[in-house]
Amino acid sequence: MTNRNISFIVKDQQPLMLRPTDSVQMACRRMCERNVGAVLVTDSHHHLKGIFTGRDAVQMIGAGGHPAETSLSEVMTPDPDTIGPEHKAIEALHMMCDGGYRHLPVVADGKVVGIVSRSDFKGLELDQFEDEQSLWERIC
């Protein structure tokens, strides 16, 4: 798996994408419905504008924010790091480790084609590591 391209991981994906004007409440609802930890914030042409994660939601609510009244553009991470589908999975793992994040948008020709998360790397060829923690210790 770590030798495979990112395109293998995202080939059948339909990533959760919302607009910058959509509310945090909508994003949280959709994340729950899809059982995902992140939303890619895009314009109408699927150009990436930012990323919003469950961590962002917790921070906003913990700070007294109002999910129904707060737009994603107010709390998303703008212009996040991305990776192309032609890159190897191990490169994505390194980027996530170095950047301290769990999700990495996949962009081709300026448009979102998917998203990879740490959980995408569990399994194939990673069974050589005792558990996820030992993998991250070796990579990081």
94-114 per-position pLDDT tens digit? 899 999 999 999 999 999 999
CB contact set of 103 (below 8 Å; sequence gap of 6+): 37, 38, 51, 53, 96, 115, 116, 117
With bands split at pLDDT 50, 70 and 90, how would you rate the model's confidence at 118?
confident
Please tell me the distance from the alpha carbon of residue 74 to that of residue 83, in angstroms, as a whole number: 24
Question: How many domains does the chain fold into?
Answer: 1
Q: Which residue has the tokens 């994003």?
A: 27
> Does 92 map to a domain?
yes
Count CB atoms within 10 A of the CB of residue 59: 12
Which domain does 12 fall in, by range?
6-139
In a domain, 1, yes or no: no
Q: Is 82 inside a domain boundary?
A: yes
Question: Which pTM does this prediction carry?
Answer: 0.85
Mean pLDDT (the chain) is 89
- CATH assignment at residue 101: 3.10.580.10
